[in-house]
Amino acid sequence: MNYFELFDLAVDFDLDTGELARRYRLLQQQFHPDRFASGSEREKLTALQKTAQINDGFQTLKTPLSRAEHMLALRGIELAHEQRTLRDPQFLMKQMELREALEEIDTPEAVLDMDVQLQSEIKQLTDALRAEIIAIDNDTAADTIRKLKFMHKLRDELERIEDSLMDSW
């Protein structure tokens, strides 16, 4: 399914998320299952399926990482359930260093410092991904998506660390 078509949007990495949200609400109103409560079973099922597609599409297009992954899928490069690993030793070394730094975090200030660092890394990778998507450099874009997934996992781990620090105070 092409979610850009579903929302009648141009296939673009830098889409207007406000416009996406507006179109999401319009589609939700149009296909909300309650509107088909008195319809046939087929109409009800179709409305439920369409609503699920609308929800999936919105979730996919609202963030740059999943949007880029969807764009590559439309180009025939499926990354969603792959098991391929990165072969960039420099990035993998940085990843290990960041994981070690995460293990040493024991103060709210250290959480903030790490968050600033991770946000900076994510921004740099997202900027690179934007250029790669525009240039239709699919293989490099795929590797950048893999790197961004690593960085987002690190941010998730940082949030868990922050939560556990808050709980212990």
pTM of the model: 0.88
pLDDT for res 118? 97
Q: What is the pLDDT along the chain (169 residues), one digit of tens a residue?
A: 999 999 999 999 999 999 999 999 999 999 988 888 888 889 889 989 999 999 999 999 999 999 999 999 999 999 977 777 788 899 999 999 999 999 999 999 999 999 999 999 999 999 999 999 999 999 999 999 999 999 999 999 999 999 998 887 6
CATH number of the domain encompassing residue 143 = 1.20.1280.20
CA 117 to mean position of chain CA atoms: 19
CATH number of the domain encompassing residue 17 = 1.10.287.110
Contact criterion met (CB below 8 Å) for 65 and 149: yes
How many Cα neighbours within 13 Å face the side chain of 16? 8
Residue 47's domain spans which residues? 3-62
For residues 40-69, one letter each, b for 16 or more C-beta atoms within 10 angstroms of the residue's C-beta and e for the rest, the string is eeeeeeebeebbeebeebbebbeebbebbb
67 membership: H or E segment, kind and range: helix 64-74
User: Does residue 103 share a domain with residue 54?
Assistant: no
